[in-house]
Amino acid sequence: MSEFTQQSQTQPIGVFDSGVGGLTVLKHLIHSMPGEEFVYLGDTARVPYGNKSPETIRHYTRQCVNFLLSFDVKAIVIACNTASALALDLARDISPVPVIGMIHPAAVSAVEQSITKKIGIIGTRATIGSHAYEHEIGNVAESKGLNIEVYAKACPLFVPLAEEDFGQHPSAAMIAHEYLHEFLALGIDILVLGCTHYPLLKDLIGKTLPDISLLDCGETAAKELCNILQIEEQKQAGELPIVRLFTTDSVHAFSSIAERCIGFPLPDPIRISPETLEEQGLSGI
Ligand code: DGL
């Protein structure tokens, strides 16, 4: 990727999501690249993105990308399927550094792993409505001469369940059954968790669909970025990641879920108001 030629290994990697979901991606990024510095933005004041219009999602994405660019990052990870589905093109247009989305790496991995050639996708309304996964899986399958059936379903209540840490509650099992039971009869062997909040509900989803492999798009995206950085000799060696967290709403709620998700103590998140993001989005970088 020629965008890297002016970059330096020591620059941070920018990561954003509408809320805490992207922390499931950050966990895999840290695991694959433990020597890096990460700047994470969770736009918790405006979550969920998944029920909003494409115009609003693109508007917010522009602001988040510009915010991360102000840290002189060497790459940006859109740790949000909704923003990846609706605004990856925009993010790549405005960013002078490489931008990794969630959908392509997950689509490649799903096609490679599926034996039945029937793949399920769950995501937000906006992601499923965009048909981005069907397009991407269709392209990957065509390039390999395969015929793949894709079954997609929006599960909008999963994001608030994850944000509220409600995965163990009996009501969550009822909601999961309501959304997912139809996948049991379809012959799928892979279910793509096409929303970065959903790995926070992995136990719940796994219990509802016991014989289906769950694909975590954060894991596949982290592998893709790690490969790119290695090829471009931009990967920072070391074992001590630096993580800086920013959130557009309450730092307290964000902090406890962040530590649980990442698995080690993190510095306190810093609050940045949506109005500040708005100003940056308008002025650009
Ligand atoms: N975590 C995000 C995703 O991967 C968005 C959830 C939301 O804000 O609706 O789609």
Segment 207-216, tens digit of pLDDT? 999 999 999 9
Cα–Cα distance for residue pair 17/75, rounded to 1 Å: 15
Sign of CA dihedral 93, 125, 189, 172: positive
pLDDT (tens digit, 9 = 90+) per residue, 226-267? 999 999 999 999 999 999 999 999 898 888 888 888 988 899
**Phi, psi of 99, deg, nearest 5:** -120, 125
Q: What is the pLDDT of residue 253?
A: 83
Any residues with CB less than 8 A from the CB of 278 and at least 6 apart, and which? 63
pLDDT (tens digit, 9 = 90+) per residue, 44-70? 999 999 999 999 999 999 999 999 999
Any residues with CB less than 8 A from the CB of 2 and at least 6 apart, and which? none
Tell me the average pLDDT of the chain: 94
Cα–Cα distance for residue pair 190/187, rounded to 1 Å: 9
Q: What is the pLDDT of residue 264?
A: 86
Residue with tokens 């279910």: 191
The four Cα atoms 41, 99, 154, 190 give a dihedral, to 10 degrees, of -120
| Cα(237) to centroid(ligand 1), Å | 31
Structure-block tokens of residue 95:
């960013």
pLDDT (tens digit, 9 = 90+) per residue, 110-141? 999 999 999 999 999 999 999 999 999 999 99
Chain centroid offset of residue 280 CA: 22
Cα–Cα distance for residue pair 66/99, rounded to 1 Å: 12
- Ligand 1 is surrounded, with C-beta below 6 A, by 17-19, 21, 47-50, 80-82, 124, 127, 159, 195-197
Of 64, 118, 72, residue with least CA distance to 91: 64
Q: Helix, strand, or coil here: 79?
A: coil
> Are both 13-101+219-283 and 103-217 of the same fold?
yes
Cα–Cα distance for residue pair 260/97, rounded to 1 Å: 30
Angle at 200 between CA 133 and CA 240, to 5 degrees: 100
Pick the CATH number of 103-217 from 3.30.360.10, 3.40.50.880, 3.40.50.1100, 3.40.50.1860: 3.40.50.1860
| Cα(109) to centroid(ligand 1), Å | 20
Domains of the chain by residue range? 13-101+219-283, 103-217
Cα–Cα distance for residue pair 82/102, rounded to 1 Å: 9
The four Cα atoms 258, 261, 263, 265 give a dihedral, to 10 degrees, of 0
Indicate if 195 belongs to the active site. Answer: yes
- Length of the chain counted residue by residue: 285
- Is there a contact between 66 and 39 (Cβ–Cβ < 8 Å)? no
The residue nearest atom 8 of ligand 1, judged by CA position, is 48
| Cα(156) to centroid(ligand 1), Å | 9
Among 25, 60, 159, 200, name the best residue to mutate to test ligand 1's pocket (greatest count of ligand atoms within 8 A of Cβ): 159
Sign of CA dihedral 163, 166, 171, 172: positive
Cα–Cα distance for residue pair 35/58, rounded to 1 Å: 31
Cα–Cα distance for residue pair 19/46, rounded to 1 Å: 8
Q: Residue 55, exposed/middle/buried by CB under 10 A (0-12, 13-18, 19+)? A: exposed
* Minimum-distance ligand 1 atom for the alpha carbon of 82: 10
CATH of domain 13-101+219-283: 3.40.50.1860
- Candidate list 64, 155, 195, 261, residue with the active-site label: 195
Sign of CA dihedral 167, 39, 99, 64: positive
Indicate if 80 belongs to the active site. Answer: yes
Split at pLDDT 50, 70, 90, the class of 3 is low
| Cα(196) to centroid(ligand 1), Å | 6
* pLDDT above 70 for 92: yes
pLDDT (tens digit, 9 = 90+) per residue, 171-229? 999 999 999 999 999 999 999 999 999 999 999 999 999 999 999 999 999 999 999 99
Q: What is the pTM of this model?
A: 0.95
Cα–Cα distance for residue pair 162/50, rounded to 1 Å: 14
User: At residue 205, what is the residue type?
Assistant: I
